[in-house]
Amino acid sequence: MGQFVDLKAADGFVFPAYVAKPVGQARGGVVVLQEIFGVNSHIRAVADGYAADGYLAVAPATFHRVKQGVELGYTAEDISAGVALKAAVEGLPAPGVLLDIQAAIDYAKQAGKVGIVGYCWGGLLTWRAACGLKGLSAAVPYYGGGMTGAAEMARVPQVPVLVHFGELDHSIPVETARAFAKAQPAVGVKFYAANHGFNCDQRASYDASASALARTRTLAFFGQHLG
């Protein structure tokens, strides 16, 4: 089990991050970026999982600049609330929440090389981090909403990237995901016969086999680039 700590961004903004520590010497650091539901029990469990695999896991509260203490579930009402909060954060003056992600990366550096992984909106932020932030060695976006738009596909990653997409994702049409793969030949893109959110065991779209395979690939990727 981890705990929340306060981190400070370059502009002086203070925000919480859930930190899970490994037993013994860390293999590196992993920044875990939330979905549109806050640093909820699922994201904390994901961070705990990376800690169990030997990494210092840091999950920053990326909604904190617009609303504090967000922890949503997966009902229709929760989704609507999360979408609105995401829009508010996306509407902040640049660089916005990327400052907080950079602070989380800097904190994770105490464990060695740093990777970043994110889900849904966090996947999009992971992609942006891979293309513009400092101190990363690897990035793994899961079904990043918006990643397959023209502006995002035009970005240039600065570190190795592995992307996971669901072929049955109603939020990210598979043809756009395949267009992303074509536009980014240096990026490893994996497809699964699964829907959006397939990694989250609290959602109806959870797919155990796809989740397990994606996690195995992610851990191998981090092992290669953070070791």
Catalytic residue among 48, 120, 207, 225: 120
C-alpha pair distances (Å), 121 with each of 55, 78, 85, 104: 23, 15, 11, 17
Instruction: Find how far residue 161's CA is from the centre of its chain.
Output: 12
Catalytic residue among 196, 200, 207, 225: 196
What does the alpha-carbon distance between residue 6 and residue 142 come to, in Å, rounded to a whole number? 26
* E strands in the chain: 3-8, 14-20, 28-33, 55-60, 114-119, 138-142, 162-166, 188-192
Non-local CB neighbours of 126 within 8 Å, separated by 6+ positions: 33, 116, 117, 118, 139, 140, 141, 144
CB–CB of 85/67 below 8 Å?
yes
What does the alpha-carbon distance between residue 177 and residue 155 come to, in Å, rounded to a whole number? 15
Residues making up the chain, counted from first to last: 227
Q: How many CA atoms lie within 13 A of 20 on its CB side?
A: 21
Catalytic status, residue 120: yes
Catalytic status, residue 78: no
Catalytic residue among 48, 106, 169, 207: 169
Quick one: DSSP state of residue 181?
H
* 35 closest CA partner among 176, 197, 192: 197
- Catalytically active residues are 120, 169, 196
